[in-house]
Amino acid sequence: MDDLVAPARDLRSLLTAVAVPGEADRRLTDKAVRALDDAGLFRLGTPRRYGGHEATLRTPVDVGAEADGATGWVVTLVNACAGVVNLFPERRGTRCSARTRSRRSPVRSRPPRGGTRGGRWPYASGIAHADWALLGIPAGETAGPRWRSSPVSDYVVERTWAVAGMRGTGSDTVVAQAVFVPGQRDVRTAAVLERVPVLAPYLTVVLAAPQLGLGRAALRIVREAAATKAVTGTAYARQADSAVFRLRFADAALKVDTVHLHCARAADDVDRASSEGGEMGGLARAR
């Protein structure tokens, strides 16, 4: 795990430097994506037989917490969706954008070994740099929800994302026409979850990583400024000299550290259940 977290930590300066251009362009920069790809950080959960690291859940949690908010979000979701696609009957693609459901994706028809699908899927994080997209098909009259994997040739991207603070995630809208989808790329969500009972907890826990990273970044920024920034309305020329400031900072640091410990325990619970091939207990799933 440390062999994969260390490259993420080493990229922090570069990712910080390109965060502002990424925010302006509303997507990760090509430079950031190349650096992440070269470090193997888009292949954390991919099986080794497909050139991945086959890492446990703790790894994407720790890696995602090392990046800035937008980058951590994209890296986390790309790896999560790639993990889902690796459970399909036949593996296709290497990087998938994150989008797992939409109420506006109609089922047009359904031949026995495949079907045609069309629709719109908003909030597809990292889609500008994805080779494939993981799309959700809502429940129809005779079938439950499904997951579909689609190559870039099957869809176009509309630039619709401009949310303050996370513009760099490039969470634009995927628009797909009614193209034929082979059966091995169109699977029942319930079938995948039944095959891998810990998948739902996995997809929940891994999303905590970018939130943890944001908390850590806030602490770093405040701590660095405390040596020169005054406490407004007081005689303190430096925040670091104020006992009240130090106590409040310590309290915030403790809360962020507590999040890390909860994430670590939850990830270990999922990894343990996965290695044992069994269900998680009700208490562990709820926690």
3-state helix, strand, coil in the chain (%, to 5): 50, 15, 35
How sure is the predictor about 96, in pLDDT bands with cuts at 50, 70 and 90?
Answer: low
Can you give the pLDDT at residue 114?
Answer: 53
Q: In the block, which residue shows the tokens 């869809």?
A: 155
Checking if the pLDDT of 71 tops 90, the result is yes
Checking if the pLDDT of 51 tops 70, the result is yes
For residue 96, give both structure tokens.
Answer: 């998938």
Selection from 210, 214, 249 nearest residue 229 by Cα: 249
Can you give the pLDDT at residue 282?
Answer: 84
Select the CATH number that applies to the domain covering 2-85 from these four: 1.25.40.10, 3.40.50.800, 2.40.10.10, 1.10.540.10. Answer: 1.10.540.10
- Quote the mean pLDDT of the chain: 86
Contact status, residue 200 vs residue 131, Cβ threshold 8 Å: no
Dist. CA 159–CA 186, nearest whole Å: 26
How sure is the predictor about 117, in pLDDT bands with cuts at 50, 70 and 90?
Answer: low
> Would you list the DSSP string of 99-137?
----TT--EEE--TTEEEEEEEEEEEBTGGG-SEEEEEE
134-179 residue pLDDT tens: 988 887 756 788 888 888 999 999 999 999 889 999 999 999 887 7
Dist. CA 45–CA 79, nearest whole Å: 6
Buried b / exposed e over 145-160, threshold 16 CB at 10 Å, is: ebbbbbeeebbebeee
Q: The whole model's pTM is what? A: 0.87
Can you give the pLDDT at residue 136?
Answer: 87
Contact status, residue 98 vs residue 80, Cβ threshold 8 Å: yes
For the chain, domain boundaries: 2-85, 96-190, 194-286
Fold classification of 96-190 is: Butyryl-CoA Dehydrogenase, subunit A; domain 2 (2.40.110)
272-287 residue pLDDT tens: 998 887 778 888 888 8
